[in-house]
Amino acid sequence: MRTHRPNPIVSLVSRVVSPFIMMFALYVIFHGHYSPGGGFQGGTLIAAALILIRLAEGNETAQLQFPRAWATPLGSLGVLIYFGTGLAAVFMGGRFLDYSVLHLAHHATMSRSYGILLVEIGVGLAVTAILVSIFDNLLEGKPDA
Amino acid sequence: MLDFFIGHYAYWFVFILMAIGLYGMTVKCNLVKKLIGMTIFQVSIILFFVASANKWGATVPVLDHSAGSIDPTKYINPLPHTLMLTAIVVGVATLGVALALVITIYNRYQTLDETRLLEHMRKDDDSE
Amino acid sequence: MILSNSPALAPLSLLLAAIVIPMVAFRRRWLAFPIALCASAFATGISVVNLVRVLSEGVIHYHFGGWIPPIGIEYVLDPLSAFVTLVVNAVSLLVLVHAHRSVAAELPDRSMPYYAVVMLMLTGFNGIILTGDFFNLYVFLEISSLALYGMIAVGNKKSPVAAFRYLIMGTVGGSFYLLGVGFVYMTTGSLNMADIAKIAPTLYHQPALVAALGLMVVGLGIKMAIFPLHGWLPDAYTYAPSASSALIAPVGAKVGVYAIIRVIFYVFGVDFVRHSLPLTDILAWLGAIAIVYGSVLAIAQKEMKRMLAYSSVAQIGYIGLGIGLANPYGIIGAVLHVMNHALMKACLFLVAGNFRLKLGHSTIPRLDHRVRKRMPWTTAAFTVGALSMVGVPPTVGFFSKWYLALGTIQNGRWLFLAALLVSSLLNAVYFFRVLEKVYMKPLEGDVPDDGDTALAEAPGSMLIPTLVLGIALLLLGLFNAVIVTGIITRIVPPGM
C-alpha cells in the first residue's frame, strides 16, 4: 500500500462514488435519534468515503482533501461539541446533558430531540477524524529507532 | 430434548462463536491470529445481546403512528441494540490500539510469533 | 451550581482536560502539563467536597440528563465511593507532580499525547467509582483500560509486548463482565444497581443470575489481578515508563476491587452470594494464596520495579482476603488497605522513579551505600515505605493488617492468620534486602567514593511528592482511628 499504482477505472469510480457516500452518511447522522442511524454509523461512513480516496488515489494526493494534521484537532472538536452541549445544560441550571433546559424549541420534548441532534453531529465528527487518523497511522508505520 | 437445541439455536451459535474466539486467543501463537480470536469473541457477545432482544411476532422498533395506539409488545426491545452500539465502538477502538501495538512490535523485533518474542525478551532481560 | 452538580464534576473536569489538551497544546507543547495538573487538582478538591457532603447529608443521587432511574443513568455518592474517589484523585495528583520531570526525561517528544491519555485514565477511574449503572461501569472500564494500554506501551523496547498481553487479557475480562451484565438485564429487566438490589433477593436460584454473578466477578477479577488472573501485572508494571508505573500501580487494580465490593455486597447482597456460589470462600482462598505467592516471587527479583510488581500481587491478595471473609472487620481491613496500599505503592514507585532518573537504573544488586550518601531523602522515604509494607506501627500499613487479622480471628480461619503473619516476614526479607544494600558498607573492599558529582538528590518537583507521601504514611497511621470511625465504619454493607 506504500506504492500507489494508478488505475483509471478505480480512480474514476471512487471519485464518482465518494461524494454520494458522504451524502448518505449525512442522512444517517441526521436520522439517528428516531430511526436507525446515529453519530457513530454516519461518522464511519464519512471515514469510509475519505479512506476510499486514500486507497484509490494514493496517500499523497489524498492529503490534499483531508490532511493528516487535521485529524486530532477535529476529533477533539467533535468531543468538545458533545461535552459543550452537556455543559451548556449545566450552565442553564439543569443536570449535565439535560437538553430540555436548553430551550432549543418551545416544547421540552422537541428541545431534547434537537439536543440529541447536536450531540450526534459532534460524535460523527469525532468518529470520522479518529478513524481516518487510525488508518493514516497504520499506513505510516515508521520503523522505530 | 430436541426443543432444547432447536428452540435456542441462536444461543448455541453464540456459544460456538465464543469458544472459537477463546481458542484463537489462547492456542494460536501469531499475534494477529490472537487479535482475530479476540474480535470473534467480542462479536459473539454482541450477537448474544441482539438475539436476546427479540420477541415472537414483533417488528422493528420504529414507531408506526398510522397503526393507531402504540402496543409495546409489537416492537422488539431496542435497549440491547443501543448498548451494543457502544460495545461495537469499544471493540473498534481496542482493535485500533492493538494493531498499532502489533506494528510497533514488528518494527522492533521483526517477528510476530509469540514464542520467539518471549525468547527475545528473556535474552534482553538477562543481558540487562 | 458547583455544589448541586458536585457528584459528576470530578470525571467531567478530567474529561474536559483530556479533550482540551490535544486542541490547545498541539503547537505549544508546554501547555499540556499545567492543564493536566489543574484538572487533577480540581478533581481532588471536588472529591473532598463530595466526602464532606456525604458524611453530613447521607447518600446523594445525581440523575444524568434529568431522567429518573431506573430509566436514566445516575451517579451515586455514598461513603464508599466518596472515600475511594478521594484516594484515587489525591494519590494521582501527587504522582502527577512527580511525573513532570520523569516524562520530560523518558518521553521527551510525546508528552502532549501522554498527558491527554493520563487524563482519560483518571476519567475512567472516577467514572467506575461513581456510577450507579452497570453498563455505564462497562463503558468507563473500557475507557480506562484503553488509556492504560496506551500508557504502558510507550516505555522501553519490551513494553509493547507487555501492553499487548495486557490488552488480550483485559479485553477478555471486560467481555466477561459485559456478558454478566447481559444476563442480569435479561433476568431482572433493569441495569440500575439500586433497582437490581431490590429485585435480586426474589430470584435466588435463577441459574442466569447466578451465572451472571460468577461472570462479573471473574471479569472484574482480571482487572483486579487476583491470584490466577494476575499474569499481565508483573510485565506491565515493570516495562512501563516510571511515570506510568507510578500512576497505574497505586490505583489501577483498586477500581476492580471497588467494583467487586459493589457487585457482591451492595447489589447482590451477602445472602444471595452465600446461597448460590461459594464465591466469598473462593476469594478468601485465592487471596491467601496470592499473599504467599506474590511475596515469595518478589524475593527472587533483581529489578526493583519487578519486585514491587510482585509485591502488588501480594497486597491485592490481602484485599481479596478481606473481601472474602465477608465480616465487618474484613471489609474495614480491605477498604483501609485500599487507601494504605495506594499511598505505600505510590511512595515506593516514586522512589524507583527517582533512582531511574538519577542513577539510570533501578536494579537492586547495583545499588550501594553511595546512594544513601547522595540521595538521603529518597532513601528515607523508601525506608518509611518499606516499614509500612512490612507492617510496623505506627506506620499506616500496620493498621490494615491488624483489622484483617481481627477479621480472620472472628471467623476462626487460623490458616489465613498464619498466611498474614508469614507474609509480613517475607515482606521484611525482600525490603530489608534493599535497605541492607543501601545503608550498610561492605566488610572489605570498600567502594571508593569517586566524587561523582552527577549523582545528586532528585530535583525538587520529584522529591517533594515522595516526601509528602512518606510523611502521610506516618501521619495517617497515627490518626487512622479518625478515618476508621469517621468514614470506614459507615461503609460496612447492610446485612452484616
Which structural domain range is residue A45 located in?
8-140
C-alpha cell at C405: 487479622
Subunit contact C160:B80, Cβ cutoff 8 A: no
Q: How many CB atoms lie under 10 A from the CB of residue C117?
A: 21
Task: Give the residue among C418, C417, C356, C426 at the shortest CA–CA distance from C386.
Answer: C426
C404 and C284 Cβ atoms separated by less than 8 Å? no
H or E stretch at C60: strand C60-63
Give the model confidence (pLDDT) of B5-43 as tens digits.
888 888 999 999 999 999 999 999 999 999 999 999 999
Task: Give the residue among C312, C310, C345, C338 at the shortest CA–CA distance from C323.
Answer: C338
List C residues 40-79 in contact with A (Cβ-Cβ < 8 A).
62-66
Place of cell 518521553: C107
C83 and C91 Cβ atoms separated by less than 8 Å? no
Domains along chain B?
Answer: 2-53+76-127 (1.10.287.3510)
Distance CA C389, CA C427 (A): 7
Give chain C positions within 8 Å (CB) of A77: 23
- Return the number of CB contacts < 8 Å for A and C: 47
Q: Does C156 touch chain A (CB under 8 A)?
A: no
Q: Which residue from A36, A131, A144 is facing B108, i.e. has the nearest CB? A: A144
| ipTM for this prediction | 0.94
Report whether pLDDT(B106) > 70.
yes
pLDDT at A145: 37
Q: With helix as H, strand as E and coil as C, how does chain A read? A: CCCCCCCHHHHHHHHHHHHHHHHHHHHHHHCCCCCCCCHHHHHHHHHHHHHHHHHHHCHHHHCCCCCHHHHHHHHHHHHHHHHHHHHHHHHCCCCCCCHHHHCCCCCHHHHHHHHHHHHHHHHHHHHHHHHHHHHHHHHHCCCCC
What chains are in contact with A, requiring at least 3 Cβ pairs below 8 Å? Answer: B, C
Q: Does B42 touch chain C (CB under 8 A)?
A: yes
Subunit contact A35:B99, Cβ cutoff 8 A: no
Count how many residues are written for chain C.
496
Task: Give the residue among B29, B31, B76 at the shortest CA–CA distance from B54.
Answer: B76
Half-sphere exposure of C26 (CA within 13 A, CB side): 14
Backbone phi and psi for residue A131, each to the nearest 5 degrees, phi listed first: -65, -40
Q: Does B124 touch chain C (CB under 8 A)?
A: yes
Amino acid occupying residue C427: N
Subunit contact A137:B63, Cβ cutoff 8 A: no
- In a domain, residue A103? The reply is yes
Subunit contact A96:C19, Cβ cutoff 8 A: no
- Return the number of CB contacts < 8 Å for B and C: 67
Count how many residues are written for chain A.
145
Give chain A positions within 8 Å (CB) of B102: none
Distance CA C11, CA A58 (A): 41
Q: Which CA distances in Å does B2 have to B6, B30, C193, C260, C324?
A: 6, 39, 37, 39, 41
Q: Does A13 touch chain B (CB under 8 A)?
A: no
Distance CA C465, CA C351 (A): 10
Query: Which residues 6+ apart lie within 8 Å of B115 measured at CB?
Result: B29
Q: Which CA distances in Å does B58 have to B72, C1, C186, C353?
A: 9, 45, 17, 61
Query: Which residues 6+ apart lie within 8 Å of A18 measured at CB?
Result: A49, A50, A52, A53
* Spans of chain C, pLDDT less than 70: 442-455, 495-496
Q: Which CA distances in Å does C238 have to C47, C139, C307, C366?
A: 30, 27, 9, 17
Report whether pLDDT(A1) > 70.
no
Q: Does C153 touch chain B (CB under 8 A)?
A: yes
Query: Which residues 6+ apart lie within 8 Å of C51 measured at CB?
Result: C82, C83, C86, C487
Report whether pLDDT(B128) > 70.
no
Minimum Cα–Cα distance from B89: chain A residue? A40
C-alpha cell at C354: 527517582
Subunit contact A95:C23, Cβ cutoff 8 A: no
C390 and C431 Cβ atoms separated by less than 8 Å? yes
Q: Which residue from C167, C174, C185 is facing B97, i.e. has the nearest CB? A: C167
Report whether pLDDT(A25) > 90.
yes
- The pTM for the full model equals 0.94
Q: Which residue from A73, A99, A101 is facing C22, i.e. has the nearest CB? A: A73
Q: Does B121 touch chain C (CB under 8 A)?
A: yes
With left for phi above 0 and alpha for psi between -120 and 50, is residue A5 left, alpha or beta?
beta
- DSSP-assigned states of every residue in C374-442: H-HHHHHHHHHHHHHHHT-TTSHHHHHHHHHHHHHHHHT-HHHHHHHHHHHHHHHHHHHHHHHHHHPPP
What chains are in contact with B, requiring at least 3 Cβ pairs below 8 Å? Answer: A, C
H or E stretch at C61: strand C60-63
Total number of domains in chain A: 1
Split at pLDDT 50, 70, 90, the class of A144 is very low
Q: Which residue from B45, B83, B117 is facing C179, i.e. has the nearest CB? A: B45
Distance CA C17, CA C40 (A): 9
Q: How many CB atoms lie under 10 A from the CB of residue C217?
A: 24
Give chain C positions within 8 Å (CB) of B102: 164
Amino acid occupying residue C60: I
- In a domain, residue A48? The reply is yes
H or E stretch at C62: strand C60-63
Subunit contact A95:C12, Cβ cutoff 8 A: no
Least confident of A67-71, A92-96, B81-85, C140-144: A92-96
CA angle C412, C413, C416 (to 5 degrees): 145
Distance CA A68, CA B15 (A): 41
Subunit contact A36:B62, Cβ cutoff 8 A: yes
Q: Which residue from A35, A40, A138 is facing B85, i.e. has the nearest CB? A: A40
Q: Which residue from B80, B93, B117 is facing C146, i.e. has the nearest CB? A: B93
Q: Does C364 touch chain B (CB under 8 A)?
A: no
Minimum Cα–Cα distance from A69: chain C residue? C26
Give the model confidence (pLDDT) of C65-107 as tens digits.
888 888 888 999 989 999 999 999 999 999 999 998 888 888 8
Q: In angstroms, what separates the C-alpha of C111 from chain A's closest C-alpha?
A: 15
Q: Which residue from C135, C164, C186 is facing B31, i.e. has the nearest CB? A: C164
With left for phi above 0 and alpha for psi between -120 and 50, is residue C350 left, alpha or beta?
alpha
Minimum Cα–Cα distance from C26: chain A residue? A73
- In a domain, residue A30? The reply is yes
* b/e sequence A55-86, b meaning 16+ C-beta within 10 Å: ebbbbeebeeebebeebbebbbbbbbbbbbbb
Backbone phi and psi for residue C131, each to the nearest 5 degrees, phi listed first: -75, 155
C165 and C150 Cβ atoms separated by less than 8 Å? no
Domain range list for chain C:
278-444+453-496
- In a domain, residue A19? The reply is yes
More confident residue, B64 or B51: B51
Give the model confidence (pLDDT) of A87-140 as tens digits.
888 888 878 888 888 877 788 788 888 888 999 999 999 999 999 999 988 887
Q: In angstroms, what separates the C-alpha of B98 from chain C's closest C-alpha?
A: 7
Q: Does C27 touch chain B (CB under 8 A)?
A: no
Give chain B positions within 8 Å (CB) of A137: 100
Subunit contact A137:B100, Cβ cutoff 8 A: yes
